[in-house]
Structures are given as C-alpha cells and as structure tokens.
Amino acid sequence: MGTTAEDARRIALALPETAEKLAWGMPTFRVKGKIFASLADDDASIGVKCPIDDREELIASEPEKFFLRGGHDENFPWLRVRLAALDDAEELAAILLDAWRLTAPRRLAEAYAAEGEETPTT
C-alpha cells in the first residue's frame, strides 16, 4: 500500500498537456503553465490544488493522509497529501485528476471529460 513520488510524477505527466518544471527547488506539475501539484523536497508528500472550502473536511476525515503546511497553505487553495498514507495509485490518480481539473482551462477539461476521462494509473 502507499504511493511514491515516482507514482505521482508518472500519473501527473499522463494527464493532457501536463509538464514538469522545477520551481522553488521542487518539481511542479503544470497544465498550460499553471501549477496543479508540487512534490515536497523530501518526496514524502505532494501539494495539490484544492478548494479552500473542501480542505477542513478532508483533513478532519483522514488526517493521516491530508494536512496543511503551517502558515503558508492556509491562504491558498492547496492541500498536502502524504504519499505513503494513500491506499494505492488509483487514489493518488483521483486526487491528481481533481487538482488538474481545477487548474486546466475549461475547454481542455471538457474535452478530456468528453473523451471518457480515464484516470491515469498506468
């Protein structure tokens, strides 16, 4: 069980028009130039785009998986995910797809959904 930084990289880069770019000394994953995920420098967690209104419930329901980095994350629509705590690559793929959808231009997200939107786990 659990996932790794390599799983996150593989899944993120399988999403349409996604690229990896180093920023702040960490790998970030971008769709059309906008960041939707960022690996922590220790590869133990990943930050993902998440509506601020949804974070509290996610953290309360599964604090072993979800957290905020003190101070910095509180004002931004981001959530931290402990990779080793996830059930499997399928759960990680669903989280990354949600973050990608929140960030991707509407037309790209709609086109991906129209194609059948399979969650990239392989």
> What does the pLDDT look like over 36-79, one tens digit per residue?
999 998 999 999 999 999 999 999 999 999 999 877 788 899 99
CA distance 40 to 29: 12
Element (H, E) at 5: helix 5-14
pLDDT digits (tens, 9 = 90+) for 106-120: 999 999 888 876 656
Contacts of 9 (CB under 8 A, 6+ apart): 20, 27, 29, 39
Question: In the chain, what are the domains?
Answer: 5-108 (3.90.1150.30)
Determine the average pLDDT of the residues in 26-34: 96
Please tell me whether the overall predicted TM-score, pTM, comes out greater than 0.85 for this model. Answer: yes
Across the range 14-27, mean pLDDT stands at 95
Check residue 73 and give its pLDDT. 81
Task: For residue 21, give the nearest of 5, 9, 6 by alpha carbon.
Answer: 9
